[in-house]
Amino acid sequence: MTTKQQKRTDISTLGEFGLIERLTADLKTLRSTTMYGVGDDAAVLDPGGQMILISTDLLLEGIHFSLVYTPLKHLGYKSVVVNLSDIYAMNAEPTQVTVSIGVSSRFCLEDLEEFYNGIKLACQSYNVDLVGGDTSSSLTGLNISVTVIGTALKEDLVFRKGASEHDLICVSGDLGGAYMGLQLLERERKLFEEEMAAQKSLEGHEFIIARQLKPEARGDIIKLFKEHDIKPTAMIDLSDGLSSDLLHITRACGLGCHIYADKIPIADATRQMAEEFKIEPLIAALNGGEDYELLFTIAPDDYEKVQAIQDVRIIGHMTHTSNGNKLMAQDGTAVNLQAQGWKHME
């Protein structure tokens, strides 16, 4: 493989999205049932009847999670939830999951039972069925692959690309908590490894730790959309961070955006921990990933309807692309939103 004299391009020069685009650039659709392939939160298939959605994630120990501070049950739960979130982000309903694992010999049956207990708990909580998977050994660590299937009526589907100029940009919940939880857990891990000291400084920080270790997918928001007769014009779930994910939407729509610093929801616990780490809380909210909140746009006419949903904030609006992608500070200054690199690749 490496003996041939050939060009060798470092993957990190492309970033994750550049890499996917490059590898899938020349794909042609062969099947009439393939409605939408690579490029959104989930693929959409139309086999007749309801639309079928499919999304998949690969989670690798040491890259996506550390077992030093992640209980296996939480890991199982989170592995399912982050995939369900992709289906909700299409305004669809997850219905089934498959889970494959590769485990090294340091794991015992009881470890895997803990992991599966988390998976089953997530399946029960979100009313989805575990329908398959694959189990093998691995040379090192725990490898997890989760695929989720969902359904939706065609007219209910929301893609990343549907927003128009002047549409309002909304976000559910609060942002940056999962990132600050990760910072805290990583700090404690290092202290623990250096001093073999017990982890005590986690006490009192349950909120941000739960945001990191046991995130929830916002199926409740999707339900509220139906109840309030709201159909977002574009939507994505916040896995990479507000900046990166909002830029996915603006790019897909061929538009720009303005969001307002003082409108971005940040929990007090997140703010406090950010200050302790000397991180600007807004930066944690913009660039911290894994909140699994929904970021979506609505037509201006739906302003009243969305105001009625308690856990949703309007944080800005879509603009003509010539206005750029900007964060407006309270003092009236504006900065350009920037996508984060492929954090796992650096």
Subset of 80-99 contacting a copy of itself (CB under 8 A): 95-96, 98
Contact call for residue 26 and a copy of itself (CB under 8 A) = yes
Burial class (CB in 10 A: 0-12, 13-18, 19+), 137: exposed
Contact call for residue 24 and a copy of itself (CB under 8 A) = yes
Contact call for residue 7 and a copy of itself (CB under 8 A) = yes
Contact call for residue 131 and a copy of itself (CB under 8 A) = yes
Contact call for residue 138 and a copy of itself (CB under 8 A) = yes
In the bound complex, what is the minimum distance in angstroms from residue 12's beta carbon to a copy of itself? 8
d(C-alpha 33, C-alpha 46), whole Å = 5
Contact call for residue 217 and a copy of itself (CB under 8 A) = no
Contact call for residue 109 and a copy of itself (CB under 8 A) = yes
Question: What is the C-alpha end-to-end distance of the chain, expressed in Å?
Answer: 23
Q: State which of residues 47, 254, 300, 341 lies at the interface with a copy of itself (CB under 8 A).
A: 47
- Compare residues 112 and 283 and give the one whose CB is closer to a copy of itself: 112
Give 126's contacts (C-beta < 8 A, 6+ positions apart). 80, 81, 84, 94, 217, 219
The piece of 51-59, 157-165, 212-220, 248-256 that touches a copy of itself (CB under 8 A) is 51-59
In the bound complex, what is the minimum distance in angstroms from residue 74's beta carbon to a copy of itself? 11
205, 273 in Cβ contact below 8 A? Answer: yes
Contact call for residue 102 and a copy of itself (CB under 8 A) = yes
Which residues is 129 bridged to in the sheet?
96
| Residue reference for tokens 């470890």 | 111
Q: Which amino acid is present at 187? A: R
- Compare residues 16 and 280 and give the one whose CB is closer to a copy of itself: 16
Token digits of residue 309: 């949903």
Contact call for residue 335 and a copy of itself (CB under 8 A) = no
The piece of 110-118, 199-207, 282-290, 304-312 that touches a copy of itself (CB under 8 A) is 110-118
Picking from 155, 305, 319, 296, the residue whose alpha carbon sits closest to that of residue 235 is: 296
The DSSP bridge pattern shows strands 325-328 and 43-45 to be unpaired
Interface positions, 182-201, toward a copy of itself (CB under 8 A): none
